[in-house]
Structure formats: structure tokens, C-alpha cells
């Protein structure tokens, strides 16, 4: 839902970032307001995933230029955990396994860290169990997953559902979902997309990083951005995704070549 | 990485590092036959004990300090150590009211209140300060059940026949270099006797405190569980911060007769030295349990977090048929700490079983080695062992080693060994952080997850404690 007067949640200006001294982001500009759903598309290596990691504060990525303001404060002043507590959420493409750490306990500590920041009371073990059981429904997840170690031995689809469960618990202001659709069969994709749709409100925003159009059949974006060579090359509405579906990314190469020549 | 770094994380001050100002009765530095005789005389010991000491001392003189462990430390000058130091007070007090308030205060500060009003409700405590036991709580209540729980010196006076029968029966005075040294000069420790058929009604615990800077601590613990008896015992240890090293060479002997069960837990938090490896305790300990009777069981659980040097292999001699030995260990080293620890499971009797679960965590520039022996004797038909040794590395300067030794003379014995090494990865930490969990909490969550199998074995009162201790020790170690 596009409302020009809605709060500007994320304001990315000329963002440059590199990994191991290799520049990946080369001047990204993007504004995200409350209520909006953005899709960032592009080929592998275009910088989409790097953008999501930089926003969440992954230590392997170094910001080399530009600014990002989150709700009017400098995002890069904040540690990753601080960003999360303030409502920035990254749904991982490859959620890591953490052996020995109980999923339930992890979810509880995480939820309480966010609640504390919002001035809400901490949930004890019992209260949290009730709370989490409500949220399980969002992703149709079996409570048995709560008893296991974080993501350990989960299938690809189970890991992604666990990500959306975390999103449901943390109630983020800006949710960045990095290739959440990758590796999912169509049923799992529908469940995950259904979860994202249920969680989208007029007060939050979603940034979908995706390679394929098929996720966008389930979640309707307000904006579609095409990334290439570390920049947003073109921005449009939903129709841009459909156009990409038909024409592929070849035009991107032509456009980049033209830019290079210019 | 953001402003926190793994290496800065470990520099949490040691909160038990204070020294109690108290007048002590100390003998002069140095070790000789006269010193051994002097210790024995100060303790008014019976002749058999003096003989035991002298025999041990004469044997010790013929031994060389062992050098096979993966440990490096400067030579110990055995003549530069005080072998007996005791806070000045007459006799052991009949009641706690007569104990020097400074001592009670010391134990209060350590979280071990001894006074009637404050003491732990279901744990009996023997408090050992430098070379002597200063108080034992709940003695009367335990006596009603026939349980003897007192300092070693008291046991020598009141139950000499038990001491004479069992002392040195599991760890002989000539067993090894440090055991021989201990046998010659040990000063105090705890004695536990659980008579036939009695289940000890409460947890027993000894708390060891080194206070003097130049004193060695040589305590001796002996636990005997008669037929069908059972007991759970816990020891805790702390010491002040000195920039010199103190020697701690203890001997613990456990005897379990038919159907008896002994659970022995240790939370060791001796001063570990500073971040450059200056100071700290040298911990050379011989711990061994003998499952003498059929169907008896001995279980060692240890959480080793302190000491500059740890050399320690709590072992089980599984003699009785169907007896069971267990070893659960968490050893954490940080900064310049070195640990060479593990166990020996000696299967003698038929169908004996043993389980080894070892979790080593190395951070900073420390080195952490697991060294374990599983031996199946010719009569250990149907015996089984399962070993699992996991190491976790934190940072990129720490070392972990595993030295499993397996010897079997019995074709019908089964031995299983699993080992793994992992590192806390940046991606795992980032994952937890991106869910609002702070860096240090993320590390301690992962570490306690890693140790969970062992913590589950600790008495409940101490499991949470151990968890906190580990978190504290690791603060500043990751980044």
C-alpha cells in the first residue's frame, strides 16, 4: 500500500559496500515507507544479498560510502542486535544451525530482547509457550520444532518456516527477506508467503529479495527494483516483475553496456 | 566486526581474588623428612599415619616430575613452598560461634555461608581454609543416619580404623609423583563414610580456599560407601590473585562396595593467572574411584574453569561385576591457561560399563587437551565403553587436542569413541545477534548449549551456577 505521507522507515543514499576489499554495492538508493512491500530482483551476484546483509550489520561486509537512515537515525551507529531490537529483521537465505541451543529458548530470549526495547514486559517460560503457540499457526509449524536445537536437522522448508516464525514473534518494522523462496516447493512457498502476507500491516514494510517472479505471485509488491552491478538499475510497479519474467535479464546487460559506453 | 572483539571479551576480573588478613601458624618453607614429621606432629597423628607419610616421602625422593602431559610451565621449586599453614585458632571449634568471624566472613563472601541462619538448606559443607578444615555443617543431623562427614584430621582422631583401612587403598602412596608428594605432606581435607544401606539424606560439599601466597595446598579426600549406600558430593575451589604460582596437589579416593553409588562433582575455579599468564594455581590432582563391589557405580562430573595449569584425570577402577563408571567433564581454558585433563576407565570385572563425555572449550591463547585411557582387562567379558570428546575453539589462537588411548585384552568387550571439533562461527553469532541477542550472550548461549550434556549431570543447585561461571569466564574472549 503506497501512501506518500506514510513514515519514511528506511532511507538508503548512495550506499557503497565491499567484501574482502571487493566493492559489491556501488551506490544504492532506496526509500521505503510504512505500509509498502518492495521486491528487489536481479541475477546472482548483482548485490541483492549483500544489500540485505549490510542492512542487518553482518561483520564481513564493510560500508565504504553513503548513508542509511532507519526511522531517522543512522543505522550504522547500531550494533546488529540493537538494529534487531529496534525492529530491523533479516530473514536468512541459509539459516545456520546452532547445535545444543534449544529453539524454544532461543526464540524466547530473542522475543524478550525486542519486547524490552518496546517497553513491553518480559515473557517467562510459561507465558512464552502460550505466545509462541499462537504464532506457530502463522506458518503451520509443528510444536515439536520448538524442542529441537535451532535449525538443527531442519529441512530447507522447515528452516524458512522457522524464519517466518521468528518474524511473527519479533514483529519487525522493516522485514528484509533474503531469497526466502529459494529451495521451497510450491506448498511450502504458499505457507511462507501466507505468513508474510498476514504479518504485513500499514505500519511496517517488507523488502523481498528474490530471483524469481513466483514469490510475487503470492505476495503483491508495491514496487519492484532491478539490481545489477551493485546498483538499482530500474524501478517500477508489479508489471516490471512480469516483464522480467517474459524477457529475462538480457536487457539488463544491454543497459549496463550502454551505460559503460556512455 | 563491530566494536566488541573476541579477544577483549575474556578480561573479566576474577571476583574471588581477595586475600583474608588473618594470623596464621605457618611452618618455614621447604621440604624434608623433618617437615613431614613436623606436620604429623602438629596434627598429633597416630604412628601408622606418620609411617604412611614417611614411606611416601622417601619414595617421592626417587621420582622425577612427569613431563608427558601437553603442558609447559616453569619448574616448580619444591623448597620454596610452605607445606603447612593454618589460621591461628585453638583446636577445631565445637560450635561455629567460636570460629574466627573473619573466616566466616570470607566464606560468606565466597557465597558459602556457614552460619546456622544462612547456610544452604540441603547441603552440608566442610570448609577448608589453607591447610585446615575450619567448620563442617550439619554434622549432627548426618550422624543420626550414621553418616560420617568431617575433616580428614578429625577422622584420623575419631575413626582411625577406617582411615587405616582405606587410606591409600585406591591411590597408593607411590602411585605417581604428585600423589606421593600429597601422601607425604597432606594437611587436611574431607572424609565421608556412608554405612551399609544408607542413602545420604543431603548433598555433601567441601569448599577449598587457598589464602596464603606461598603455601601449597595438599588436601586428601576419602569417601567410602558401604554395601547399598549412596552419596552425592561436591567440591568447590577458589584462591586469591597472586602474581606467583601456588601448587595444589590433591588426592581423592573413592571406594564403592556392592550396590553402592558415589557421585562426585567438582566446580573448580582456582585463580587462573592474568591475561598474560602471570600467576595462577598449578593444579596437579590425582582422583580415582574404585568400584570394588558388584553393581557399584562411581560418577565423576567436573567443571574445570580455573588454574593456570590443570593436570587431572579422575578415573574409575571397575572391579566389581556389572559396575559402572562415568566421567562428565567441561574444561574451559582462556588467556594462557593450559589444561591436560581426562579420565581412565579400567575395566576389570565382567559386564562393567563406562561412559565418558568430555567437552573442552579453548579461548584466548590457551591450550586444552583431553587425555583418556579405556582399558579392557582379560576378565572384562561383555564390558562396554562409550566415549565422546568434543572440542570447541573460540578465536583463532587457541588449541585443542584429543589423546585417546584404548587397550583391550578382551575380544568380547565393546569400545566406542566419537570425537568432534567445532568453532563458534561468525555466521552463528551473527544469526543470534540479528535476533536481538547481544554478542556475549550469544557466545554464552552457544557454549552452554555445547556443555548441556555435562551440566545436566550436576546437582541442580550447581548447574545454573556452572552455567554462569562459564559465561563469566568467557566474557571478553570472543570477537
- Determine whether the interchain pair A99/B449 forms a contact, defined as Cβ–Cβ distance below 8 Å: yes
Model confidence at B207, pLDDT cuts 50, 70, 90, reads confident
Number of Cβ pairs closer than 8 Å across A and B? 85
| pLDDT per position as a tens digit, B335-367 | 899 999 999 999 999 999 999 999 999 988 999
Residues of B in contact with A92 (CB under 8 A): 431, 434
Task: Tell me the C-alpha distance between B27 and B99, whole Å.
Answer: 22
Residues B109-122, mean pLDDT to the nearest whole number:
63
Task: Tell me the C-alpha distance between B333 and B310, whole Å.
Answer: 10
Residue B281's pLDDT is what?
A: 85
Task: Tell me the C-alpha distance between B398 and A73, whole Å.
Answer: 39
In a domain, A127, yes or no: no
Residues of A in contact with B427 (CB under 8 A): 96
| pLDDT per position as a tens digit, A84-135 | 999 999 999 999 999 889 999 999 999 999 999 999 999 998 999 999 999 9
Model confidence at B111, pLDDT cuts 50, 70, 90, reads low
B137 or B423, which is more confident: B423
- Determine whether the interchain pair B436/A166 forms a contact, defined as Cβ–Cβ distance below 8 Å: no
- Determine whether the interchain pair B434/A57 forms a contact, defined as Cβ–Cβ distance below 8 Å: yes
- Determine whether the interchain pair A84/B434 forms a contact, defined as Cβ–Cβ distance below 8 Å: yes
Count of domains in chain A?
A: 1
In a domain, A25, yes or no: yes
Interface of B with A (CB under 8 A): 1-4, 422, 425-428, 430-439, 441-442, 445-446, 448-452
Q: What is the DSSP letter of B13?
A: P
Residues of A in contact with B422 (CB under 8 A): 99
Whether B270 and B283 have beta carbons less than 8 Å apart is answered as yes
Smallest CA-to-CA distance from A176 within A19, A73, A25, A55 is with A55
- Determine whether the interchain pair B435/A96 forms a contact, defined as Cβ–Cβ distance below 8 Å: no
Best residue in A20, A61, A90, A101 for a mutation probing chain B (most B CBs within 10 Å)? A101
A240/chain B closest Cα distance in angstroms = 31
- Determine whether the interchain pair A110/B436 forms a contact, defined as Cβ–Cβ distance below 8 Å: yes
The CATH number assigned to the domain holding A238 equals: 3.40.50.300
A228/chain B closest Cα distance in angstroms = 26
Model confidence at B4, pLDDT cuts 50, 70, 90, reads very low
Of A85, A98, A166, the CB nearest to B428: A98
B396/chain A closest Cα distance in angstroms = 16
Residues of B in contact with A105 (CB under 8 A): 445
Q: Report the complex ipTM.
A: 0.95
- Determine whether the interchain pair B435/A99 forms a contact, defined as Cβ–Cβ distance below 8 Å: no
For helices B177-185 and B33-42, the axis angle rounded to 10 degrees is 50
Residues of A in contact with B451 (CB under 8 A): 100
In a domain, A198, yes or no: yes
Instruction: Please give the residue range of the domain that contains residue A20.
Output: 8-95+172-261
Whether B264 and B312 have beta carbons less than 8 Å apart is answered as no
Residue B374's pLDDT is what?
A: 97
**Percent of the residues in chain A that have a pLDDT greater than 90, as a whole number:** 77
Whether B250 and B235 have beta carbons less than 8 Å apart is answered as no
Residues A210-238, mean pLDDT to the nearest whole number:
92
pLDDT at B96 > cutoff 80: no
Residues of B in contact with A49 (CB under 8 A): none
- Determine whether the interchain pair A101/B446 forms a contact, defined as Cβ–Cβ distance below 8 Å: yes
Question: Across all residues in chain B, what is the average pLDDT?
Answer: 85
Whether A222 and A204 have beta carbons less than 8 Å apart is answered as no
Residue B1's pLDDT is what?
A: 31
**Percent of the residues in chain B that have a pLDDT greater than 70, as a whole number:** 85
In a domain, A86, yes or no: yes
| pLDDT per position as a tens digit, A11-68 | 999 999 999 999 999 999 999 999 999 999 998 889 999 999 999 999 999 999 999 9
In a domain, A120, yes or no: no
- Determine whether the interchain pair A106/B435 forms a contact, defined as Cβ–Cβ distance below 8 Å: yes
Residues A189-207, mean pLDDT to the nearest whole number:
94
Model confidence at B10, pLDDT cuts 50, 70, 90, reads very low
- Determine whether the interchain pair B3/A109 forms a contact, defined as Cβ–Cβ distance below 8 Å: no
Whether B394 and B443 have beta carbons less than 8 Å apart is answered as yes
In a domain, A111, yes or no: no
Residue A28's pLDDT is what?
A: 97
Amino acid at each position: 500500500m503506497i501512501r506518500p505521507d506514510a513514515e519514511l522507515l528506511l532511507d538508503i543514499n548512495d550506499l557503497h559496500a565491499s567484501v574482502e576489499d571487493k566493492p559489491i554495492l556501488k551506490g544504492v538508493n532506496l526509500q521505503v515507507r510504512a505500509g509498502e512491500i518492495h521486491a528487489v530482483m536481479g541475477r546472482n551476484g548483482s548485490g541483492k544479498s549483500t544489500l540485505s546483509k549490510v542492512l542487518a550489520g553482518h561483520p564481513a561486509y564493510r560500508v565504504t560510502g553513503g548513508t542509511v537512515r532507519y526511522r531517522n537515525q543512522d543505522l550504522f551507529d547500531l550494533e546488529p542486535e540493537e538494529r534487531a531490537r529496534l525492529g530491523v529483521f533479516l530473514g536468512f537465505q541459509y539459516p545456520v544451525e546452532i547445535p545444543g541451543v534449544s529453539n524454544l529458548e532461543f526464540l524466547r530470549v530473542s522475543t524478550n530482547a525486542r519486547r524490552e526495547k518496546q517497553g513491553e514486559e518480559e515473557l517467562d517460560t510459561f507465558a512464552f509457550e502460550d505466545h509462541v503457540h499462537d504464532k506457530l499457526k502463522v506458518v503451520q509449524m509443528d510444536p515439536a520444532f520448538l524442542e529441537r536445537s535451532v535449525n538443527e536437522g531442519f529441512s530447507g522448508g522447515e528452516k524458512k518456516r522457522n524464519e517466518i516464525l521468528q518474524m511473527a514473534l519479533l514483529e519487525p518494522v522493516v522485514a528484509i527477506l533474503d531469497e526466502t523462496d529459494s529451495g521451497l516447493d510450491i506448498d511450502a512457498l504458499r505457507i511462507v508467503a501466507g505468513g508474510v502476507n498476514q504479518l504485513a500491516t500499514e505500519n511496517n514494510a517488507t523488502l523481498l529479495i528474490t530471483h524469481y517472479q513466483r514469490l510475487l505471485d503470492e505476495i503483491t509488491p508495491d514496487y519492484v527494483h532491478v539490481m545489477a552491478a551493485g546498483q538499482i538499475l530500474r524501478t517500477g510497479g508489479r508489471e516490471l516483475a512480469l516483464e522480467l519474467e517474459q524477457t529475462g535479464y538480457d536487457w539488463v546487460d544491454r543497459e549496463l553496456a550502454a551505460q559503460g559506453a556512455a | 566486526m563491530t566494536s566488541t572483539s573476541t579477544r577483549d571479551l575474556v578480561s573479566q576480573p576474577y571476583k574471588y581474588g581477595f586475600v583474608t588478613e588473618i594470623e596464621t601458624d605457618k611452618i618455614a618453607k621447604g621440604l624434608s623428612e623433618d617437615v613431614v614429621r613436623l606436620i604429623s606432629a602438629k596434627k598429633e597423628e597416630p604412628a601408622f599415619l606418620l609411617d604412611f607419610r614417611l614411606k611416601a616421602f622417601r619414595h617421592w625422593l626417587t621420582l622425577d616430575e612427569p613431563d608427558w602431559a601437553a603442558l609447559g610451565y616453569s619448574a616448580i621449586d619444591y623448597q620454596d613452598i610452605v607445606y603447612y599453614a593454618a589460621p591461628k585458632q585453638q583446636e577445631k571449634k565445637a560450635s561455629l560461634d567460636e570460629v574466627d568471624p573473619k573466616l566466616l566472613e570470607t566464606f560468606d563472601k565466597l557465597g558459602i555461608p556457614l552460619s546456622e541462619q544462612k547456610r544452604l538448606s540441603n547441603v552440608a559443607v566442610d570448609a577448608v581454609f589453607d591447610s585446615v578444615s575450619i567448620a563442617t555443617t550439619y554434622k549432627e543431623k548426618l550422624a543420626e543416619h550414621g553418616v560420617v562427614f568431617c575433616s580428614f584430621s578429625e577422622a584420623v582422631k575419631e575413626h582411625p580404623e577406617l582411615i587405616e583401612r582405606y587410606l591409600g587403598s585406591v591411590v597408593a602412596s607411590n602411585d605417581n609423583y604428585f600423589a606421593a608428594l600429597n601422601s607425604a605432606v597432606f594437611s587436611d581435607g574431607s572424609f565421608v563414610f556412608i554405612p551399609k544401606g544408607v542413602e545420604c539424606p543431603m548433598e555433601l560439599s567441601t569448599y577449598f580456599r587457598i589464602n596464603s601466597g606461598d603455601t601449597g595446598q595438599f588436601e586428601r579426600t576419602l569417601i567410602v560407601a558401604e554395601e547399598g549406600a549412596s552419596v552425592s558430593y561436591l567440591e568447590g575451589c577458589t584462591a586469591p590473585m597472586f602474581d606467583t604460582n601456588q601448587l595444589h596437589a590433591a588426592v581423592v579416593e573413592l571406594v564403592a562396595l556392592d550396590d553402592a553409588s558415589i557421585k562426585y562433582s567438582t566446580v573448580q575455579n582456582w585463580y587462573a593467572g592474568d591475561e598474560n599468564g602471570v600467576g595462577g594455581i598449578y593444579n596437579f590432582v590425582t582422583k580415582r574411584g574404585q568400584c570394588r563391589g558388584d553393581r557399584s557405580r562411581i560418577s565423576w562430573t567436573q567443571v574445570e574453569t580455573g588454574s593456570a595449569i590443570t593436570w587431572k584425570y579422575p578415573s574409575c577402577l571397575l572391579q566389581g561385576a556389572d559396575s559402572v563408571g562415568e566421567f562428565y567433564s567441561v574444561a574451559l581454558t582462556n588467556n594462557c591457561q593450559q589444561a591436560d585433563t581426562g579420565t581412565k576407565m579400567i575395566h576389570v570385572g565382567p559386564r562393567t560399563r563406562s561412559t565418558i563425555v568430555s567437552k573442552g572449550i579453548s579461548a584466548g591463547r590457551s591450550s586444552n587437551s583431553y587425555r583418556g585411557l579405556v582399558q579392557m582387562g582379560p576378565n572384562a567379558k561383555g564390558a562396554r565403553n562409550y566415549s565422546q570428546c568434543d572440542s570447541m575453539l573460540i578465536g583463532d589462537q587457541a588449541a585443542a587436542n584429543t589423546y585417546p588411548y584404548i587397550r583391550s585384552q578382551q575380544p568380547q568387550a565393546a569400545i566406542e569413541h566419537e570425537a568432534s571439533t567445532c568453532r563458534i562461527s561468525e555466521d552463528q553469532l551473527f544469526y543470534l545477534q540479528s535476533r536481538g541477542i547481544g554478542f556475549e550472550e550469544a557466545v554464552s548461549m552457544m557454549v552452554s548449549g555445547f556443555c548441556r550434556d555435562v551440566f545436566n549431570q550436576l546437582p541442580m543447585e550447581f548447574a545454573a551456577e556452572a552455567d554462569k561461571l562459564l559465561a563469566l569466564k568467557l566474557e571478553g574472549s570472543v570477537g
